[in-house]
Structure 1
């Protein structure tokens, strides 16, 4: 009996070892579980469009006459520094997500489901109908302006630009459910709201 029992135990051990070996051999053939996406589609859309939005803020600063009031120049420089820092963060997220810098359908994440962008006069203002964006004509006008005219135009365009960015960030905050992108959107609302107030104060002095 002891011999049969020992044989049975050995057979069971061999069977278990064989099953383990088969499992290890078959494991590479089984599909690996899909990794969760780094960013959701809404986050990617918001980040891509905010890259475009921030980039134009830098253009506004670049086209401002360097001979304007130092107070305006200082605020413009502060805005540019903030926008560059956030732009680097946004681009880093897109690289991690393996997403392109620009989407194929700008502002789609912000439109109601089923809504489509209409061609025509409204779309001609900017190809993405992005809130607060300056037109090509306004950018050219700013580049040609000097002195007080440049100050007023810059302050108006940048304040409108910030209000547009706040609108986008507030929509993202409402659509998202936690995460770094939503926290960044909330920071943008606070930071750009504060800057928009300063822009308004400088604009009131020139009114």
Structure 2
């Protein structure tokens, strides 16, 4: 009896080894070893997300540099912009982390391909220009001027800078909407278009009430 039991155990052990070996041989047929998980974001989505993150971060800087003594309506608008863009910044950072991508784009606006540039534009020169600034971005001199401005001067300059900033952001979001087929990044770009266009309309009206022209 003991011998029979030992024989059965030995046979079962051999069968287990054979089955394990067969499973390893069949594994590539069932689950290819070279199959990788699909990318969370494609290069266009990553580039747009990185650039819009930088764009939003500068909007927060402008709100922070606005004189605290401005008209309550301007302060309320600035706070609304800050609250909305902080939430979106969190979303943008989350997508980049999921994609294992840097939050900074070493080549701003490079996600726009040459075929999508308007006829007659030099893609190389536009790409070089984009490396310095994105659409609507304020210069350090302008940000310093906003920090120094007080009262009505601060209100007018803030509205001018933020209106230009929103106009540039809407343009970027529209370009992303054209280039991205579907998915959450596309939906977010569309939401930005609607939201920032509405805020731009309010800022245009506020500037007109003050008799101040928008920046070119």
Q: Helix, strand or coil for the counterpart of 1:109?
A: coil
CA distance in 1, matches of 2:125, 2:37: 33
Kindly state the Cα deviation for residue 31 of structure 1 after the two structures are TM-superposed: 1.8
Q: 1:130 to 1:62 in 2, by over 3 A?
A: same
1:202 counterpart residue number? 206
- Aligned match for 2:58, one of 53, 56, 59: 56
- Aligned match for 2:123, one of 107, 115, 123: 115
1:147 counterpart residue number? 151
Q: 1:118 to 1:131 in 2, by over 3 A?
A: closer
1:5 counterpart residue number? none
> Superposition pairs for residues 27-176 of structure 1, below 5 Å?
27=27, 31-112=33-114, 115-117=123-125, 123=129, 127-176=131-180
CA distance in 1, matches of 2:182, 2:20: 43
> Conserved in 2, the CA contact under 8 Å of 1:107 and 1:128?
no
Q: Deviations over 1:44-78 (max 9, x none)?
A: 00000000000000001001001111000000000
Structure 2 stretches of 5 or more lacking a match? 1-13, 116-121, 212-216
Relative to the length of structure 1, the TM-score reads 0.83
> Conserved in 2, the CA contact under 8 Å of 1:169 and 1:188?
yes
- Aligned match for 2:194, one of 187, 190, 193: 190
Q: Helix, strand or coil for the counterpart of 1:108?
A: coil
Q: Helix, strand or coil for the counterpart of 2:104?
A: coil
Q: 1:118 to 1:159 in 2, by over 3 A?
A: closer
> Conserved in 2, the CA contact under 8 Å of 1:58 and 1:80?
yes
Residue-pair matches, total? 188
Structure 1 stretches of 5 or more lacking a match? 1-13
CA distance in 1, matches of 2:106, 2:208: 39
2:182 counterpart residue number? 178
Structure 1 runs (4+) greater than 4 angstroms displaced:
117-120
1:11 counterpart residue number? none
Relative to the length of structure 2, the TM-score reads 0.80
Kindly state the Cα deviation for residue 23 of structure 1 after the two structures are TM-superposed: 3.5
Kindly state the Cα deviation for residue 21 of structure 1 after the two structures are TM-superposed: 3.6
